[in-house]
Structure 1
Amino acid sequence: MDYQRLIDWTDERIVERPGRVIVAFLLLTSVFAVGLGNVSTEAGTEQFASDIPANDALEAINDEFGSSFAADTGSTQLIQRGDNVLAKDQLLYMLRAQERLQEKEDLRVSSTSSAARIVAQTLDPEATTLEGQIDAVERATPTQIRSAVRQNADNPGFTGTLSNDFNRRSASASATIGVVTHEVPGAGGGGGAGQSGSSPLTDIQLQSERVVDTVGGDITVFGSGITAAEFSNVITDSLLIVTPAAVLFIIFFLVVAYRDLLDLLLGSFALLMAIVWTFGFLGLAGIPFSQMMIAVPPLLLAVGIDFGIHAVNRYREDRQDGLGIDEAMTEATDQLLVAFFIVTGTTVIGFLSNLASDLPPIRDFGIVAAVGIVFTFLIFGVFLPAAKVWLDRKAEAYPLPVFSQSPLGAEGSRLGEVLRGGVVVAKYTPVLFLVLALVASAGAGWYATDVDTTFTQEDFLPPEEVPGYLQQLPEPFAPSDYSVVATLNFLEEKFQTTQGGSVTVYYETRMERDTALEEIHRAGEDPPESFVSEDRRADSESIVTVVQSQAERDPEFRRLVQRNDRNGNGVPDDNLGKVYDRLLESPARDQALNYLAEDRRSTRVVYSVSADASQSEVTEDGRMVADRFRGGAVATGNTVVFKAVSDLIFESAVTSLALALGATVVFLIVIYWILEGLPSLGVVNTLPIAVAVAFVAGTMRLLGISFNAFTATILSLTIGLGIDYSVHVVHRFTDERREHDLFTALDRTVRGTGGALAGSMLTTTFGIGVLVLSLLSVLGQFGVLTALSIVYSFVASLFVLPSALVVWDRFANDDPSVPMGYPNESPTDDPTAGRTVATDGGSE
């Protein structure tokens, strides 16, 4: 394949028409800049649960059951705290808060409920409005209020809104929850802490906060809208903190690497272009910006910095050898475009391996990162060299400031001597060192087999308390005040029961079948260990329990049930249509519709589970109980959905790793076969990456970091980013080996390319490492692991790869003391034709 013709065509445009190249890239930048305005955000856990059967069942439940799940309503929780929220003044705070919210027409309040309303109506049964109930409480004495509270001590509708420290005798509790229901199209009836990144209730609940603040008392407004707002804010705040910190680190190391103002400005502008292009593509393609996308800018900076340093460093070497601007850039790009293409190909493979994931956000992340890397290749492979030529010509014509132009890692420098360590080892004990490295990698890989996999809503929530050093940041970098986690922790502490949660079985069937209710009743017999039970029957709520409860309260309904109960167990198994009709005409109608769909073709059964049961146990037992139903039943609930996502995360990590590693090996074998006629170099090229992947995985277990929604991509990402270092070393080595003996070629490779790699490694490690400053702890873990993967890849490429190349060379060349001829070159060819032969310690 005559790839050189394409490279020569590109070289010609860069050197002979740099102005046109610059204008073309600036025009493309303006096009992508338009897309920046179309970028939308998406946050939370729902994005990961798409198309999972358990989540589909959960969504069906939210659509089909009960007034609280109606598609046109949503609810706000009013969480009240105090020494005694059942005291007179506290009851009035809650009633007045609900009244003021109801008076605001734009809040679309359709109903309110609270313990305060129940107490007020007990005091005055005729008080059906909030105004009347406020009057009733104001007229009552403390003794009357305590009496009203005690009268409701056995009322689940009353005690269910109180904290678990409710005391019947003293008529006191430290917390209560009131509910305000809004008519909001698209709210989906959610009333709790939403998981989505946006909510139609957000504006309503933010306005409700301001209204409630005027009432007095300690009342917190909470709901899906508040949670959605904080989900969105944590992305913005993290970007505002991480991005400037990354820029500061990057500028510092770029100053060290470039040591020239014009080159620094040019490299920084190219990095900005890569970001604009990538996120402009995000908007144009309609891909939402999720929490995972926060990692994309640092990744692009990592690759862009590497490309920029290599391009400028190699050009400086050729200039130092006495070549002019045009000749030096032609020689530099002639080599670098090939190396950049190989790096881009392998990096794109690493990112696109995430397309095998069943989780949409991970697939989107893979696509955007891969597209961003291609953009980075074009910008740093074509635009930056053209702009460098244009600037250097202007520098010759005008007195522009030019500082140090010496390349990194030049011969005689301290950095160059440090980088030679791998060559020294390779010269004396390559086989032993290589064996030790492989054994250590195998050990790290084995150690990593016990890395956990997790997926929880807490991964996507802001911290309960923002670290003090971040609170000291000036505006606009200071993070917002976050309350969601503190509120959730408070609810868990004050309203927890001996139960640890629930599992819901969603059952699609014709509910008027005679055996429908008997099937539900029998499914609860002999429950699994994680289910809460009494007398070997699961603690559950269903249409069966609603029927039984109504039968206890209503003698007429009880007689109807008994007439249609053939086996006398209290569960009707005949004329179920009539039983439902009568039930839906009773005061239990709303409760019944929580478990029976209006079309009577589906139902749900909620089973309580133990607090100490693990996610895996709950999910397995829930699925086992669902199998007891006669087909069509699905176990669901947050625990089950999160476990399903957790399983997919692990599958994604393993599958992406296998695909990335396999595809990278094949790609490199083919590329080196085409370019050099030596496919075995492709295998050697991947050896350092295998070492880096093993050590990254081992470090995850050592640091207690699990595979989660963010770190699931880390292994394939290590391949995508880490291959960069080994590709540059191998590609440079093949060039040097044509002109020098084995160890001279290695020495020149690690001093030249190694110098640029060292600068790139330090810059990108600190640039990505700033993710530890993110308000999302999982994003900080991702930043640590990504930074470590770069360090491991650099060390493996500079210290393990030389030994591998020595071993490889012994099989590929009869005499290591002489330059090596390559299969693609005929004996009569000039080995330097069309290639760059460095005469001094150079770099790619």
Structure 2
Amino acid sequence: MKKNLENFLAWVLKKTCLHCRIVILFFLVLTAFSLWILSTRFKVINDTNALIRKDSPIHKYYLEYRKEFGVAEDYVVVIHGADPDENKKAALQVGEKLRKLYPLVQNVRDKLDLSKLEPHLLLYLPVEDLKKIESEIDGYVKTLKQEPEIKLDLNTILNQANAKFQESYLRKHENWKEFIPFIDKFVAILNQLADQLEQNPTSHVRMQKTSLKLQDKEMSNFRIEDIRAILEDHEFLSFEDGKLVLVTASPGKGASEGQKRTETIKKIREIVSDIGMEYPSLSIGLTGEPVLEDDQLQESSKDSLNSALLAFSLVSILFFISYREILRPAIGLVVLAMSLCWALAFPMITIGHLNIISEAFVAMVIGMGIDFGIQFMSRYEEEISGGKTILEALKTTSRHTGAAIFTGGCTTAIAFFTMCFNDFIGLQEFGIVAGFGILFCLLSSLTLLPALYFWIDSKIGLDRIRQSTIKTTWTAPKWVNTVLFFSPRGMLVLATAASLFFIFMIPKVGFDYNLLNLQNQNLDCVQWELELLNSPSRGMISALSVADNEEEAKKKAKAFEALPSVAEVRTLTTILPEHQEEKLQIVRQIVDKLKDVPLDSSKKEVNAERLKNDIDDLLQKSEEGYKTAQKFVAIAPQAKEAVDIFSKLIPALSRIQKQMKKLPKAELNKRLSRAQFEIFGTMESGLLWLRSQDTSRGVILEDLPKEVLERFLSPHGKILIEIVPKENVWERKADVQFVHDIRKVDPKVTGTPVQNYEYIELLRKSYTEAAQWAFVAIVILIVLRFQNLLHSLLALFPLVLAAIWTLGWMGYFGIPFNPANIITLPLAIGAGVAYGIYTVDRFSEDGNAQLFSTSTGKAILISGLTAVIGFASLLISSYQGLYSLGLVMTIAISFCLTTSLIILPQIFYLLNTKKNKTKGLTIPLPAEETLANK
């Protein structure tokens, strides 16, 4: 088989050289066609759903949800500021401008219209609270019936207070049970009146929902402002007492991916920037899953392009410096560039796109694809400088080094193709794209490259070519081999010790499941997402469940709410009040009782002179009472209570008296009227509002805001349930617990937490399996190639050793695998095994352990460095996924190079020594040779 391969490659080489012009023309036409394909069809996608098999149950559930509700994950505009009112104003402006972007966005949710809910708002109170309101209203109504002259105003309350301060009233001990609570409410009113007269800012602080006693009867202090405040708090999606406000919008139909999504995000960012300039005190930003995905795609695409350009530039420089010549390295680079054009055009024809994973193959192919050209060129120059003709040199190169290149290229390609045997479409696509990319590079190195060399070198002439190759062909100086083989056994002992150390470090290698950690942490969308994750909003990430009807939605919602890992459940049934029939009965009784009560929320005049006299009388009585009570504190407990009461009354009354004397009459009347309305008018407005409640029916779906219905109710009547996690489900532990819990209620639950749970684990499993298959396939190919057990094991030895060192290195330095760099498992196997193959192939050919005395050592070193450059170029990436991939692969290839060029030759040297000793010969070490020469 080995001989047949060598003969076949020699035959191909001969035909290629004889028809070199046709071969070159064919590949030029193929390159031109590829460039046309790239200019018209090039496309990169970053849609998670496109990376999963269509028949996957998890994917199926998600697609069913999207089809039913016609929406995708939301854009989220975050508004953060200290002033809740300013936050809401900014949110309204954001919403208004977002609506103008239709049809790029839809379902904008800034302020909800809750006007239809106001007539039914009492139904949202617990039954116990409604009964309490009914009881208080009942007491107030009875009081008014008994004493119809009672009014809610300052003069009345002060008149009642004066009546209670009569000595005859206070002497009765039983009256103190109702007098003390009255005083607490009365002091609160006096302080509020004093604040209004002083125009103290604290006067705008709402009173607590307490109750007042008028004529010894209790009445609810129900304020319409409190009702409005409740509605306002729910009109906006706000958190942290209004300091954090969110505006959300869904991508429009056909605008959830691709160029339209990018265009939409750009326009939303312009809106955010403009409004941010109008509100400099606010922090306004954009995040959400569509933004995170698009920014990830833009970052990775930009980084991939920059890395590819950097890799190509550095490889070119290394190529020219290493060979101290321009023409032949330039030909190799042109062939590589043409191969890349074919490799990029191929997926556009077969698959239709690249994805977020497969686009990284360009930098990889540059680093690994040039490997074949380096090996071929180095051996070709060696043969030319050794005295062979151009065709003979090409034949020898193709027969020997070509066979090694063919084996190495096939093993690398197979390593990629093994990725196709899994359920992860994104990985399958990467395997196809990268595998064929390597094959295209291999094909061009064995056909186009020798055709160009033959055609161009034949024109230049053999003598000039030989002089050039003698000058450019170099081997390492003798001292390199002296150092390299100074102590073969010592070197192997050192390698064994390092391996044992790294083996103990391997268990420390973890897996980072958090997709946010793959992002550029400096991106605004990532920073805002992290801020939301640490807020009560939990980053707006939730799981999704679909119910067929209202009854099922109620049942599921209650079950989800009972789970320990769930923070909140949002659906139509959680918005509709519970026990509506029972509550309606109580509300009807409240409304009926208030029907005949005379209420007037209009502003009433205050008799300032009378009020002033009442204040003076109360202050005088309080001061006298305080002095009298102090005399009996030691002997009468009631005297101590009196001292406490008067201690509260005197400061408040003194403030009012002082301010009334200071203010002009007109201003005094104005402030008294305002104070009276603040204290009593709003109360009557609240009672009027209670009386206006609709008792004809409960809350129905049509009463809910349009945006809520669009979000939670499908055109076919199905109801969406959003389940908000309690912990940060970007972290694996929290995600696993959350998904396990919610699946107990609904096995078909979907959404980002569920998809992340399934897809990342599938990705990890798929790459691990691909690595296993790659290793098996490579072992088979190597055995078939060498047909010698020892040589096959030696070819695998550097790879196994490098794998141990790489994993141990990661464990020691705390470098985890993640959904991006896990690709290195099969990739490092495919790329790293080639160096072992080249090394063993040259040793099996001439039995020379000193690789650097031949062109092979130089070729392996340079090709290894180009691979390192290809992957190290990814280290400039701000996208952490590419960065981590480049880091791990750089380490892995460096170790493969080290084990192939330094460790493996030690074994060759010992094998040669043993072989020659068996024959009765001795082979001096390089150090001994040097001394002998001296």
- CA shift, 1:25, in A, is 1.8
**Structure 2 portions without partners, runs of 5+:** 119-200, 207-223, 589-697, 923-934
Deviation per CA, 1:400-438, whole angstroms, max 9, x where unpaired? 99856445552xx33x64256554544xx3xx7556645
- CA shift, 1:554, in A, is 6.8
Matched residue, 1:42: 45
Q: Which letter does structure 1 place at the counterpart of 2:334? A: F
Deviation per CA, 1:252-275, whole angstroms, max 9, x where unpaired? 211122211111211211121121
- CA shift, 1:70, in A, is 3.3
Matching of residue 641 in structure 1 with residue 755 in structure 2: yes
- CA shift, 1:343, in A, is 0.4
- When residues 590 and 260 of structure 1 are mapped into structure 2, their CA distance, relative to the original with a 3 A threshold, is closer
Among residues 491, 494, 497, which one is paired with 2:536 in the alignment? 497
Q: Greater shift after overlay, 250-259 or 799-808?
A: 799-808
Matched residue, 1:13: 15
**What CA distance in whole angstroms lies between the structure 1 residues aligned with 2:577 and 2:768?**
49
Q: Which letter does structure 2 place at the counterpart of 1:799? A: I
- CA shift, 1:788, in A, is 1.6
Conserved? CA contact 1:78–1:179, under 8 Å: yes
- When residues 623 and 492 of structure 1 are mapped into structure 2, their CA distance, relative to the original with a 3 A threshold, is closer
- CA shift, 1:512, in A, is 7.6
- When residues 748 and 617 of structure 1 are mapped into structure 2, their CA distance, relative to the original with a 3 A threshold, is closer
**What CA distance in whole angstroms lies between the structure 2 residues aligned with 1:503 and 1:6?**
60
Q: Secondary structure at the match of 1:162?
A: strand
- CA shift, 1:726, in A, is 0.7
**What CA distance in whole angstroms lies between the structure 2 residues aligned with 1:507 and 1:790?**
49
- When residues 449 and 656 of structure 1 are mapped into structure 2, their CA distance, relative to the original with a 3 A threshold, is farther
Matching of residue 217 in structure 1 with residue 278 in structure 2: yes
Matching of residue 615 in structure 1 with residue 676 in structure 2: no
Deviation per CA, 1:20-39, whole angstroms, max 9, x where unpaired? 22222212222322321312
Greater helix proportion? 2
Matching of residue 389 in structure 1 with residue 454 in structure 2: yes
**What CA distance in whole angstroms lies between the structure 2 residues aligned with 1:105 and 1:523?**
36
Matching of residue 661 in structure 1 with residue 660 in structure 2: no
Matches within 5 A, 1:518-537: 518=555, 521=558, 525=562, 527-528=563-564, 530-532=565-567
Matched residue, 1:186: 254
Q: Which letter does structure 2 place at the counterpart of 1:60? A: E
Matched residue, 2:263: 203
Deviation per CA, 1:236-257, whole angstroms, max 9, x where unpaired? 4213432332233112211122
**What CA distance in whole angstroms lies between the structure 2 residues aligned with 1:406 and 1:48?**
52
Matching of residue 454 in structure 1 with residue 522 in structure 2: no
**What CA distance in whole angstroms lies between the structure 2 residues aligned with 1:553 and 1:155?**
23
- CA shift, 1:796, in A, is 0.8
Q: Which letter does structure 2 place at the counterpart of 1:206? A: K
Matched residue, 2:887: 784
Q: Greater shift after overlay, 229-238 or 252-261?
A: 229-238
Matched residue, 1:70: 70
Among residues 766, 785, 806, which one is paired with 1:652 in the alignment? 766
Matched residue, 1:302: 367
- When residues 257 and 703 of structure 1 are mapped into structure 2, their CA distance, relative to the original with a 3 A threshold, is same
**What CA distance in whole angstroms lies between the structure 2 residues aligned with 1:243 and 1:270?**
16
Deviation per CA, 1:224-245, whole angstroms, max 9, x where unpaired? 6655553342134213432332
Q: Which letter does structure 2 place at the counterpart of 1:186? A: G
Matching of residue 61 in structure 1 with residue 178 in structure 2: no
Matching of residue 339 in structure 1 with residue 404 in structure 2: yes
- When residues 767 and 519 of structure 1 are mapped into structure 2, their CA distance, relative to the original with a 3 A threshold, is closer
Conserved? CA contact 1:771–1:780, under 8 Å: yes
The normalised TM-score by structure 2 is 0.67
Say which structure, 1 or 2, has more relative contact order (CA 8 Å, 6+ apart): 2
Conserved? CA contact 2:821–2:884, under 8 Å: yes
- When residues 433 and 793 of structure 1 are mapped into structure 2, their CA distance, relative to the original with a 3 A threshold, is same
Identity over aligned pairs, percent: 20
**What CA distance in whole angstroms lies between the structure 1 residues aligned with 2:586 and 2:709?**
14
- When residues 108 and 454 of structure 1 are mapped into structure 2, their CA distance, relative to the original with a 3 A threshold, is closer
**What CA distance in whole angstroms lies between the structure 2 residues aligned with 1:224 and 1:803?**
54
Matches within 5 A, 1:754-769: 754-769=857-872
Among residues 283, 289, 293, which one is paired with 2:354 in the alignment? 289
- When residues 787 and 24 of structure 1 are mapped into structure 2, their CA distance, relative to the original with a 3 A threshold, is same
> Which structure is larger by alpha-carbon Rg, 1 or 2?
2
Deviation per CA, 1:141-198, whole angstroms, max 9, x where unpaired? x9999999975543486375234253xxxxxx3x43334567x32357xxxxxxxx53
Matched residue, 1:30: 32
- CA shift, 1:553, in A, is 10
Matches within 5 A, 1:250-261: 250-261=315-326
**What CA distance in whole angstroms lies between the structure 2 residues aligned with 1:500 and 1:223?**
8
Matches within 5 A, 1:213-252: 216-218=277-279, 219-220=284-285, 226-227=291-292, 229-252=294-317
Matches within 5 A, 1:399-410: 405-406=470-471, 409-410=474-475
- CA shift, 1:804, in A, is 4.0
Among residues 444, 450, 456, which one is paired with 2:502 in the alignment? 444
**What CA distance in whole angstroms lies between the structure 2 residues aligned with 1:425 and 1:244?**
42
Conserved? CA contact 1:653–1:712, under 8 Å: yes
- CA shift, 1:520, in A, is 5.6
Conserved? CA contact 2:332–2:373, under 8 Å: yes
Q: Greater shift after overlay, 782-791 or 224-233?
A: 224-233
Q: Which letter does structure 2 place at the counterpart of 1:203? A: E
Among residues 792, 805, 813, which one is paired with 1:703 in the alignment? 813
Matched residue, 1:135: none
Q: Secondary structure at the match of 1:154?
A: helix
- When residues 74 and 445 of structure 1 are mapped into structure 2, their CA distance, relative to the original with a 3 A threshold, is closer
- CA shift, 1:622, in A, is 3.1
Q: Which letter does structure 2 place at the counterpart of 1:57? A: Y
Q: Which letter does structure 1 place at the counterpart of 2:580? A: A
- CA shift, 1:348, in A, is 1.4
Matched residue, 1:488: 529
Deviation per CA, 1:104-136, whole angstroms, max 9, x where unpaired? 4765776654359889x99xxxxxxxxxxxxxx
Count of aligned pairs between the two proteins: 705
**What CA distance in whole angstroms lies between the structure 1 residues aligned with 2:729 and 2:264?**
37
RMSD over aligned Cα atoms: 4.2
Q: Secondary structure at the match of 1:176?
A: strand
**What CA distance in whole angstroms lies between the structure 2 residues aligned with 1:642 and 1:594?**
23
The normalised TM-score by structure 1 is 0.73
- CA shift, 1:645, in A, is 2.4
**What CA distance in whole angstroms lies between the structure 2 residues aligned with 1:654 and 1:778?**
18
Conserved? CA contact 1:409–1:756, under 8 Å: no
Deviation per CA, 1:723-778, whole angstroms, max 9, x where unpaired? 111111111111103xxxxxxx2125764311221122223212320110012112
Q: Which letter does structure 2 place at the counterpart of 1:780? A: Y
Matched residue, 1:831: none
Q: Which letter does structure 2 place at the counterpart of 1:486? A: Q
Conserved? CA contact 1:79–1:176, under 8 Å: yes
- When residues 152 and 293 of structure 1 are mapped into structure 2, their CA distance, relative to the original with a 3 A threshold, is farther
Among residues 388, 392, 407, which one is paired with 1:323 in the alignment? 388
Q: Secondary structure at the match of 1:699?
A: helix
**What CA distance in whole angstroms lies between the structure 1 residues aligned with 2:364 and 2:378?**
21
**What CA distance in whole angstroms lies between the structure 2 residues aligned with 1:498 and 1:116?**
18
- When residues 786 and 152 of structure 1 are mapped into structure 2, their CA distance, relative to the original with a 3 A threshold, is farther
Q: Which letter does structure 1 place at the counterpart of 2:382? A: E
Conserved? CA contact 1:726–1:797, under 8 Å: yes
Conserved? CA contact 1:685–1:726, under 8 Å: yes
Matched residue, 1:127: none
- When residues 623 and 657 of structure 1 are mapped into structure 2, their CA distance, relative to the original with a 3 A threshold, is same
Q: Secondary structure at the match of 2:42?
A: coil
Matched residue, 1:587: 704
Matched residue, 2:682: none
Conserved? CA contact 1:266–1:384, under 8 Å: yes
